[in-house]
A and B are shown apart, each in its own frame.
Chain A
């Protein structure tokens, strides 16, 4: 152990003041410090290592706290870790943990993190997010997930109660950014061993975040209340966070307008302009790090036509992104001509030819390309568009079908349930399919990794140069240059038809302060918010 420390030099230390809700001068706090947040579907699991859904994560982020948190702009700030050191080679991180407690009063120790992280990769836990530890490049993570090594070989050790050491297989520029993800949150070993799967039920759950679980009425609401044992409880203002399930977006909006919900962060498509006009101090749109695209199936099972670059280009040109963004979604989304979300930190997009043209030019070029490829009025190209059940996906698919009709492509629509959609994507049983990707951490690699050979990459596009650029970026001084080049290759070869970059069109009650609209990951912490008196 000492030997190890001798070889690691102190490279970076983080000792910023903790971030909390801080009312500005002249603001009086309201008597009502509760927050009702709309969710579309019931929580599936509130277990940090088992969850795979965004809705769950929003609640888990209130209940648990990881090594790092995000501030209002999305920058990483200390959570349970007070400071950290990185070794010269960038492959060992040592975190110094602050004195903090679980909601039952027990101290939070480095061992709680070791337990949780091993639990995440242990195949016996069967976590759907075990791969996240692989993404973090923690030593042995991949072997453990495959069942080739024991969970206790994971490269994470509790040096003492307040010191956690993490060993990586290679320098990972985005490593710190992964530490605010639910999968990395500590979990209470004693409680889990005593209660088993039921430990996340109200009354049984013990958590270390600013809030603790008060009740969870499946499909109705989940309520979190202040955790008196939270280390920064004194500076927390919001007392209660209610997550209200409303399965119908339009009814959700009605209930917001009736004052039953305080914050609705996904408005029904097309409603934002009208709401902005009527409620200018409540309607707001903020970029959100997700991108929407139509995937081409380039595998052996895919249609021959799509293997022709000209066809893929024509299809990508044919989509009128301005109409999708301005006339269908109307919530501050931006047309996408490349894959990585435009607001991703440090990302600079390559120049994309088609983004400069007018739609008329694109259509003209698309028609010419299709003709070159041997398709025309006598021999029209026929394709199927697959999408999963959702009002918005339905609208977009209908619009795209019409856009493609204008360049002489006959597309049929195939609507499937999410589970079936995913199954078909994974088995390459599709021709063109709608897909969207949300960043797991705020860096371009989170998007670009999707198209790596061996990545998710359900369309099975493969390019050696692209793979090499991504591999190089992992250790590069300035990876963003390489990301830019990789993105250029992706679009040159039109591996997908990028469609739009997400934004969250939302309604927030005007007395709520501290909503992190500048955080493109849209990770929010109720402990950083407060309500002012009107």
Chain B
């Protein structure tokens, strides 16, 4: 899964143009978005998954860490999904309820995805806007730094970070967030360059508004569309990265879990007749990724319509 940079650039270009016409691009976009069936389906899926994460626990019979001693040791036969014993999604290998574990894993994965994407977008936007606005030496230096960082094999560095500093939620957020702000910063810089000579910015500068205020008040709002689309498309990427980290055993600490951890446990046991251990978490994982993906795509198309 990737984000198409060329489309993001075209979107960014359009967003900064619209400001000049003095008309919000959002009203039209909303109409277009609601007409996009895939995007609407994605939105509904995301809302449902969100509700599942928030309210799922109130339907759970078991907690996410309790061992069901009736099931333990005979998971293949007794641990199947069943309404009777309250294990709607069956149990994991230790006899823990997979339903409540999936709910809890959903919470963690969504959180990692959203926080990671938020970090990336915030850092990327501020960095890019600063470089573009101040220009000159600062810009040169900052963009050289981005060039350098672009060439670092991030997955390797992330593995190193987690191995070296031990697994922790904050390291996961930080590590995942810090790997994806680079592309964002380039696009934002490019648009800032074309924005900063506009009249309204010059006017603000003439009245003595400090640089950082101009960036936050005038430049960032003009890039909101890009930011929103980028954030939406980054979330699934973050979730995928987290799942890889969990596969390596460097994810969250037990008894907490995540989609990645559940899926890799389930994938390990596919040959033992406990397919539900893979199927349920994988289902939620996939539909959520689709959801974000369709919504992000739809949002972009709505904000940057092209004749097809």
Chain A residue, CB-CB nearest to B269: A250
Q: In the assembly, what is the distance between CA of A413 and CA of B72, in Å?
A: 20
Question: Smallest distance from the beta carbon of A21 to chain B beta carbons, Å?
Answer: 34
Do B67 and A399 touch (CB < 8 A)? yes
Question: Smallest distance from the beta carbon of B263 to chain A beta carbons, Å?
Answer: 14
Do B73 and A328 touch (CB < 8 A)? yes
User: A328-B72, A402-B66, A413-B253 in contact; A395/B167 too (CB < 8 A)?
Assistant: no
Q: In the assembly, what is the distance between CA of A415 and CA of B167, in Å?
A: 8
Do B94 and A398 touch (CB < 8 A)? yes
User: Is A214 among interface residues, defined by CB-CB distance under 8 A?
Assistant: no
Do B249 and A397 touch (CB < 8 A)? no
Do B254 and A413 touch (CB < 8 A)? yes
Interface residue ranges of A317-350 to B (CB < 8 Å): 323, 326-328, 330
Which B residues are in CB contact (< 8 Å) with A326? 73
Do A397 and B163 touch (CB < 8 A)? no
Do B73 and A414 touch (CB < 8 A)? no
Compute the total of residue contacts between A and B using a CB distance below 8 Å.
54
Do B65 and A398 touch (CB < 8 A)? yes
Digitize A238-258: 1 where CB-to-B-CB distance is under 8 Å, 0 elsewhere. 000000000010100110000
Question: Smallest distance from the beta carbon of A502 to chain B beta carbons, Å?
Answer: 18
User: A248-B268, A402-B66 in contact; A274/B253 too (CB < 8 A)?
Assistant: no
Out of A327, A389, A397, A416, name the residue touching B73 (CB < 8 Å).
A327
Chain B: interface secondary structure? loop
Do A274 and B272 touch (CB < 8 A)? yes
Which B residues are in CB contact (< 8 Å) with A171? none
User: Is A49 among interface residues, defined by CB-CB distance under 8 A?
Assistant: no
Q: In the assembly, what is the distance between CA of A268 and CA of B95, in Å?
A: 16
Which B residues are in CB contact (< 8 Å) with A327? 69, 72-73, 95
Out of A254, A415, A417, name the residue touching B253 (CB < 8 Å).
A415
User: A327-B72, A402-B67, A413-B253 in contact; A250/B268 too (CB < 8 A)?
Assistant: yes
User: Is B6 among interface residues, defined by CB-CB distance under 8 A?
Assistant: no
Q: In the assembly, what is the distance between CA of A248 and CA of B248, in Å?
A: 11
Do B93 and A270 touch (CB < 8 A)? yes
User: A414-B253, A415-B254 in contact; A330/B67 too (CB < 8 A)?
Assistant: no
User: Is B170 among interface residues, defined by CB-CB distance under 8 A?
Assistant: no
Chain A: interface secondary structure? helix
User: Is A445 among interface residues, defined by CB-CB distance under 8 A?
Assistant: no
User: Is A394 among interface residues, defined by CB-CB distance under 8 A?
Assistant: yes
Chain A residue, CB-CB nearest to B95: A327
Out of B67, B69, B95, B272, name the residue touching A271 (CB < 8 Å).
B272
Chain B residue, CB-CB nearest to A257: B271
Question: Smallest distance from the beta carbon of A358 to chain B beta carbons, Å?
Answer: 15
User: Is A198 among interface residues, defined by CB-CB distance under 8 A?
Assistant: no
Which B residues are in CB contact (< 8 Å) with A399? 67, 94
Which B residues are in CB contact (< 8 Å) with A270? 73, 75, 93
Interface size class of A (residues with CB under 8 A): 20 to 34
User: Is B136 among interface residues, defined by CB-CB distance under 8 A?
Assistant: no
User: Is B85 among interface residues, defined by CB-CB distance under 8 A?
Assistant: no
User: A328-B72, A395-B94, A413-B253 in contact; A402/B65 too (CB < 8 A)?
Assistant: yes
Which A residues are in CB contact (< 8 Å) with B95? 327
Please report the total number of B residues contacting A with Cβ < 8 Å: 23
Which B residues are in CB contact (< 8 Å) with A254? 271
Do B94 and A328 touch (CB < 8 A)? yes
Chain A residue, CB-CB nearest to B73: A327
Q: In the assembly, what is the distance between CA of A193 and CA of B269, in Å?
A: 49
Chain A residue, CB-CB nearest to B267: A250
Do B72 and A250 touch (CB < 8 A)? no
Which A residues are in CB contact (< 8 Å) with B22? none
Out of B75, B163, B255, B272, name the residue touching A398 (CB < 8 Å).
B255
Which A residues are in CB contact (< 8 Å) with B66? 402
Interface residue ranges of B266-298 to A (CB < 8 Å): 268-269, 271-272
Q: In the assembly, what is the distance between CA of A250 and CA of B254, in Å?
A: 21
Interface centre among B73, B268, B271 (most CB of A within 10 A): B73
Do A413 and B255 touch (CB < 8 A)? yes
Question: Smallest distance from the beta carbon of A401 to chain B beta carbons, Å?
Answer: 7
Interface residue ranges of B205-255 to A (CB < 8 Å): 249, 253-255
Out of B163, B167, B249, B255, name the residue touching A401 (CB < 8 Å).
B255
Interface centre among A254, A270, A274, A323 (most CB of B within 10 A): A270
Which A residues are in CB contact (< 8 Å) with B36? none
Which A residues are in CB contact (< 8 Å) with B93? 270, 395
User: A395-B94, A398-B254, A399-B94 in contact; A417/B163 too (CB < 8 A)?
Assistant: yes
User: Is A420 among interface residues, defined by CB-CB distance under 8 A?
Assistant: yes
User: A270-B73, A395-B94, A401-B255 in contact; A420/B166 too (CB < 8 A)?
Assistant: yes
Chain A residue, CB-CB nearest to B65: A402
Do B72 and A323 touch (CB < 8 A)? yes
Interface residue ranges of B63-79 to A (CB < 8 Å): 65-67, 69, 72-73, 75-76
Do B254 and A394 touch (CB < 8 A)? yes
Out of B69, B254, B269, B271, name the residue touching A323 (CB < 8 Å).
B69
Interface residue ranges of A376-395 to B (CB < 8 Å): 389, 391, 394-395
Which A residues are in CB contact (< 8 Å) with B94? 328, 395, 398-399
Which A residues are in CB contact (< 8 Å) with B272? 271, 274
Q: In the assembly, what is the distance between CA of A330 and CA of B69, in Å?
A: 14
Chain B residue, CB-CB nearest to A414: B253
Q: In the assembly, what is the distance between CA of A395 and CA of B167, in Å?
A: 18
Q: In the assembly, what is the distance between CA of A417 and CA of B166, in Å?
A: 8
Digitize A138-166: 1 where CB-to-B-CB distance is under 8 Å, 0 elsewhere. 00000000000000000000000000000
Question: Smallest distance from the beta carbon of B137 to chain A beta carbons, Å?
Answer: 44
Q: In the assembly, what is the distance between CA of A399 and CA of B65, in Å?
A: 9
Q: In the assembly, what is the distance between CA of A395 and CA of B75, in Å?
A: 14
Which B residues are in CB contact (< 8 Å) with A414? 253
Do B254 and A389 touch (CB < 8 A)? no
Question: Smallest distance from the beta carbon of A286 to chain B beta carbons, Å?
Answer: 21
Do B254 and A397 touch (CB < 8 A)? yes
Which A residues are in CB contact (< 8 Å) with B76? 274
Chain B residue, CB-CB nearest to A387: B254
Q: In the assembly, what is the distance between CA of A401 and CA of B69, in Å?
A: 14
Q: In the assembly, what is the distance between CA of A420 and CA of B250, in Å?
A: 14
Interface residue ranges of A383-439 to B (CB < 8 Å): 389, 391, 394-395, 397-399, 401-402, 413-417, 420
Chain B residue, CB-CB nearest to A269: B93
Question: Smallest distance from the beta carbon of A322 to chain B beta carbons, Å?
Answer: 10
Chain B residue, CB-CB nearest to A402: B67
Question: Smallest distance from the beta carbon of A111 to chain B beta carbons, Å?
Answer: 45
Digitize B48-60: 1 where CB-to-A-CB distance is under 8 Å, 0 elsewhere. 0000000000000
Q: In the assembly, what is the distance between CA of A413 and CA of B253, in Å?
A: 7
Which B residues are in CB contact (< 8 Å) with A397? 254
Q: In the assembly, what is the distance between CA of A389 and CA of B268, in Å?
A: 16
Q: In the assembly, what is the distance between CA of A270 and CA of B69, in Å?
A: 14
Do B67 and A389 touch (CB < 8 A)? no
Binding site for B on A (CB under 8 A): 248, 250, 253-254, 268, 270-271, 274, 323, 326-328, 330, 389, 391, 394-395, 397-399, 401-402, 413-417, 420
List the 5 closest A-B pairs by CB distance, nearest first: A327-B73, A327-B72, A250-B268, A413-B254, A402-B67
Known contacts A254-B271, A327-B95; 18 further A-B pairs (Cβ under 8 A)? A250-B268, A250-B271, A270-B73, A270-B75, A327-B72, A328-B73, A328-B94, A394-B254, A395-B94, A398-B96, A398-B254, A399-B67, A401-B255, A402-B65, A413-B253, A413-B254, A415-B254, A420-B166
What are 23 of the A-B contact pairs (CB < 8 Å)? A250-B268, A250-B271, A254-B271, A270-B75, A274-B76, A274-B272, A323-B69, A326-B73, A327-B69, A327-B73, A328-B72, A328-B73, A328-B94, A330-B73, A391-B268, A395-B94, A398-B94, A398-B255, A401-B255, A413-B254, A414-B253, A415-B167, A420-B166
